[in-house]
Amino acid sequence: MLNIVLFGPPGAGKGTQSAKLAERYGLVHLSTGDIFRQHIREKTPLGLEAKGYTDKGDLVPDELTIRLLESEVKRYPTARGFIFDGFPRTSAQAIALDACLAGMGSSISCMVALEAHDDELRRRIVRRAESSGRPDDARPEVVQNRIAVYHRDTAPVADFYRAAGKYKGVDGIGEVEEIFKRLCTVIDQVKTV
């Protein structure tokens, strides 16, 4: 299997690039943010619980998020691999993801991290808010909180993969196609080792 964590701060372009990578490599794209938004739209019990957190830009608690991710992975027993977009966002989630994949006799192939400065992220999210319809993109204080939560809780997750020799940083500034090429170059190297 080829299992990739596409990592990066909010606004780095994870969703766009994950969709393109999933198509290129024949992977299942799992975005916890997209799954939460679908539950929120459908007003499921999970959606109602998650909304209190996503509206503020806070992380949904690990227990809920991990359970959701595990059940999503189990929906694709014959997958060639996964691209995890927006997960893991805490150390507990990274440990749970390893255990989940180990249960399938597999593991994370690499974490590819899109790197961009906070000012650029804020600019992109403001632009995205015009078309995304995401309430968490439209309010500057929520955007600021998401960036702060990323630095506090999520950025340390990279160390987990660095320690395992699985971290690959990629410049996240530029045109979509240009960044996509950089990501593919990194992933092609991982695939051939």
What's the one-letter identity of residue 78?
A: T
Annotated active-site residue 134? The verdict is yes
Chain residues binding ligand AMP by CB under 6 A are: 10, 32-33, 36, 53-54, 57-60, 65, 86-87, 89, 93, 136, 146
Given a contact cutoff of 8 angstroms between Cβ atoms, the answer to whether 116 and 155 are in contact is no
Smallest distance from the beta carbon of 193 to ligand AMP, in angstroms? Answer: 28
Quick one: 60 or 183, whose CB is closer to ligand AMP?
60
Q: Which is nearer to ligand AMP, 125 or 170 (CB)?
A: 125
Catalytic residue among 14, 20, 37, 168: 14
Q: How far is the CB of 188 from ligand AMP (least distance, A)?
A: 25
Whether residue 80 lies in the annotated active site: no
- Closer to ligand AMP by CB, 60 or 110: give it: 60
156 close to 113: Cβ distance less than 8 angstroms: no
Torsion angle of alpha carbons 20, 24, 30, 35, nearest 10°? 40
139 an active-site residue? no
DSSP string spanning 59-125? PPPHHHHHHHHHHHHHT-TT-SEEEEES---SHHHHHHHHHHHHTTT----EEEEEE--HHHHHHHH
Write down the least CB distance from residue 163 to ligand AMP, Å: 20
Helix (H) or strand (E) holding 28, with range, is strand 28-31
Catalytic residue among 56, 134, 139, 182: 134
Q: Which is nearer to ligand AMP, 99 or 189 (CB)?
A: 99
List 171's β-bridge partners, or say none: 115
Active site residues: 14, 89, 128, 134, 146
